[in-house]
Structure 1
Amino acid sequence: MAICLVFYRYIIIHSGDSWRYWNLPSIGGEASYNWLDFFGTGTYFMYWVNYPFSQIGGLGYLSGTLLYGSLSYFGFLLAFDIVNSTFTKPSKKYIPQIALLILLFPNVHFWTAGVGKESLLWLGLMLVLFGVQRFPNKLIFIPIGLFLSLMVRPIQGLVLTISVLTALPFHKILSPYRRKLIPVAVFLIFSIFAYRYILGSLIYGFNLRWIGDILEWQNQYLASFGGASAINMNDYNWLEKISTILFRPFVWESKDFWTFAAGVENIFNLAFSILGFWSLYQLKFQFKIPLYLWTVLAYGLLLSILFSLTLNNLGIIMRMKSIYFPFFSIIALHLYYEVAKEKLEK
């Protein structure tokens, strides 16, 4: 809740989409709006959700910030519960504590502390992961989380749906039905890709060229804003693109407090990544992680690839990856946990 005040102060000074999501009268030329006029996906969904509180209830932006902070706080409660139950038999007592401390990394708290899509996306992701981990008893959490993610940012909702379809058939409870479930999951995943292609083709034409054109337009659109953290991703090779998404800004790229804080956190992310690869080598490349971590791993990798094609600003990259990136470090720590457990058993 303290970070809510930091986020509030940041938006008051620097402005941003968050202010526009809450203060609807500041957009467009019309003097009044109807609540139902805003129902839709993406930004319209944010307007629709906020309208009863900001326009009918008359709550100010600070109240909205605290409200969204409370929603994401519930997501953190789910996250702590999920992670805490993951390391049930620690071979080294400090491992579960470190896993919980990873959830205190500031980047995810900052971007989910106020009015914005990341708050709802974080909550949606945690609902899905909680449902996967407690499947089938908490199955209802999965469609709720997917629906919320799809409404807030459809592309991320579709990626999360693909991740769930990829992981869930391998749940041990579903093993008797796996031969039937996997073809169904593959068909649904293919249907999602076909849906996105047809949706775009109806506007731009039935070819593959429009996909590259859209990516190029996105890069030019973001570059038009300029900014100190703008980068030219078009000149990077694939290794540079992925490393930028995962580990930049580096500390030596710091230009102010915010980029320095991001750089320090990325040092920890890099350290955990090295630990994870070392642990994977010790395990002879056996990826022993719970199913919910497989889900968020697929989600994070797919989004990282997508972001490497569409983003060219380090500040936006830190925001967009904030909701899934802490789990990359938790995955690395879990691999080390498996190494420690094997050594103890020997």
Structure 2
Amino acid sequence: MAYANHRIAKRNNLTRYENLSLQFLFIYHLLFTWIFTSFLNSHGGDAIKYWNLVADASQEAQTWMQYWGNRTFFIQWLNYLPSKFAGLNFWAGNMLYALCSFLGFRILFIYLIKNSHKDLAISWKGFLLWILLFPNIHFWTSGVGKEALLFTAACYALIGFTAIHKHYLQISLAILLAWWVRPVFGAALIPVFYFALYQSSAFKKSHKILISALVTAILLYFTYQLTIMMHLEAYDFKGLQDFISSQFLFLENFQATSEIPMGQYNLFEKLIALFFRPFWHEINGFWYFAAAVENTTFLLLLIFAFYKSIRNNASQIPPALIYGVLYGLILASLLIFSMNNLGIIMRMKSTYMIFLYITAAFIIIPNDKESNI
């Protein structure tokens, strides 16, 4: 992988500093594989169950193809050959998933570098790299689990949206992967695709309508399948409310110490809880501390980005980051009505918050008309 990083950096005309930064990002990410493995071995978790193929045994599968399915079944299907057939241990499985998720980091890093203006100072490039080093996403994507696949799928889809006519196969595979791993994440990419399609100048209007009709037909089928998975009995507002209530009740039955009363919050309180909890007084262990630091940093990034925007000298945001913000906001709007467990929220938002962080950072960095000092 390190050699592949070097070759890809050279192919994309990255400088020596940028090449070294990519390799540092790779080593840093792999370090979290050790952290993830140690943490799960000490505290337990879904990742171990995924690797041992016991997270969901309702299929009573005995052979590889009997594990086939979506969501947890798909993860167990992926794990069957390396875990059960090849006999690799949990650490090796985490390494495989970490390598997979690094593909997302690599394509995102290269996209950011290529879309920064050529005279950007090294210190500001280091600033962008620092954003990519936030620990929450590295922790959750460095081991066996859905987040590693979802993050890579999102990166390939969002960057693919910048040139749909060239990357239609990449986009299709990325959306299908996201859908198969966690359907709502795949579904959230579809509205972003529509937005990118109508922003594109590579298609005639008639072609856009035809493509939209085809994608809409596929989306309707996926949506129908999603409602079956969700056991949504009525397709009206009351049916949706009943589902939200049942989802909150289901999570409350676990009696987790990190439960949040989202059902009692107004919309503003829900958004604050999603984006900025845990608060500093809620810190309970290192990962809550890291999350609190990350949330505070995001708040500061937003303040500086807003200040620079009102001064009308914000840097132009690359298209993929705009798509990433839209994707993140769609998912955030879904999570606030379906999740009331802080631990699950922290894990789920790790795969999309990075796009909001980077977008805020990109607004802050000097544009091509400003001094780099």
What is the CA-CA distance between 1:142 and the residue it aligns to?
1.2
State the TM-score, normalized to the length of structure 2.
0.82
CA-to-aligned-CA distance 1:54-105 (integer Å, 9 cap, x gap)? 1111111111011111111122111111111121245665333212221110
What is the CA-CA distance between 1:194 and the residue it aligns to?
7.7
Name the structure 1 match of 2:318: 290
Name the structure 2 match of 1:76: 105
Alpha-carbon separation, structure 1, partners of 2:233 and 2:321: 37
Name the structure 1 match of 2:136: 107
Pairing of 1:33-182 with structure 2 (within 5 A)? 33-90=62-119, 94-133=123-162, 135-174=164-203, 177-178=204-205, 181=208
Alpha-carbon separation, structure 2, partners of 1:57 and 1:132: 37
Equivalent pair of 2:280/2:289 in contact (CA under 8 Å): yes
SS at structure 1 position matched to 2:336: helix
Name the structure 2 match of 1:223: 252
Alpha-carbon separation, structure 1, partners of 2:96 and 2:225: 38
CA-to-aligned-CA distance 1:131-161 (integer Å, 9 cap, x gap)? 2345544443211211211111111101112
User: Matched residue pairs, number?
Assistant: 341
What is the CA-CA distance between 1:203 and the residue it aligns to?
5.9
Name the structure 2 match of 1:319: 347
Name the structure 2 match of 1:24: 53
What is the CA-CA distance between 1:329 and the residue it aligns to?
1.7
What is the CA-CA distance between 1:26 and the residue it aligns to?
7.2
What is the CA-CA distance between 1:197 and the residue it aligns to?
5.6
Alpha-carbon separation, structure 2, partners of 1:140 and 1:52: 26
SS at structure 2 position matched to 1:271: helix
Pairing of 1:295-306 with structure 2 (within 5 A)? 295-306=323-334
Name the structure 2 match of 1:270: 299
**RMSD of aligned residue pairs (Cα, Å):** 2.8
Alpha-carbon separation, structure 2, partners of 1:291 and 1:30: 42
Alpha-carbon separation, structure 1, partners of 2:179 and 2:221: 17
CA-to-aligned-CA distance 1:273-312 (integer Å, 9 cap, x gap)? 112222332339x994222112111110000010111111
- Say if 1:190 and 1:26 are closer, same or farther in 2 by CA, change over 3 A: closer
Name the structure 2 match of 1:196: 223
Question: Could you tell which deviates more after superposition, 62-71 or 130-139?
Answer: 130-139
Q: Identical aligned pairs, as a percentage?
A: 32
Alpha-carbon separation, structure 1, partners of 2:301 and 2:79: 38
SS at structure 2 position matched to 1:309: coil
Match of 2:309 among 280, 283, 298: 280
SS at structure 1 position matched to 2:142: coil
SS at structure 1 position matched to 2:270: helix
- Say if 1:212 and 1:311 are closer, same or farther in 2 by CA, change over 3 A: same
1:185 matches 2:212: yes
Alpha-carbon separation, structure 1, partners of 2:151 and 2:99: 12
Equivalent pair of 2:232/2:239 in contact (CA under 8 Å): no
CA-to-aligned-CA distance 1:103-142 (integer Å, 9 cap, x gap)? 1100000000000000000111111133234554444321
Matched to 2:357, the amino acid is: S
SS at structure 1 position matched to 2:202: helix
CA-to-aligned-CA distance 1:235-261 (integer Å, 9 cap, x gap)? 111111111111111222212222111
Name the structure 1 match of 2:9: none
- Say if 1:335 and 1:147 are closer, same or farther in 2 by CA, change over 3 A: same
What is the CA-CA distance between 1:188 and the residue it aligns to?
4.1
Q: Which runs of 5 or more residues in structure 1 are unaligned?
A: none
Alpha-carbon separation, structure 2, partners of 1:264 and 1:55: 39
Alpha-carbon separation, structure 2, partners of 1:303 and 1:199: 15
Equivalent pair of 1:83/1:100 in contact (CA under 8 Å): no
Matched to 1:75, the amino acid is: G
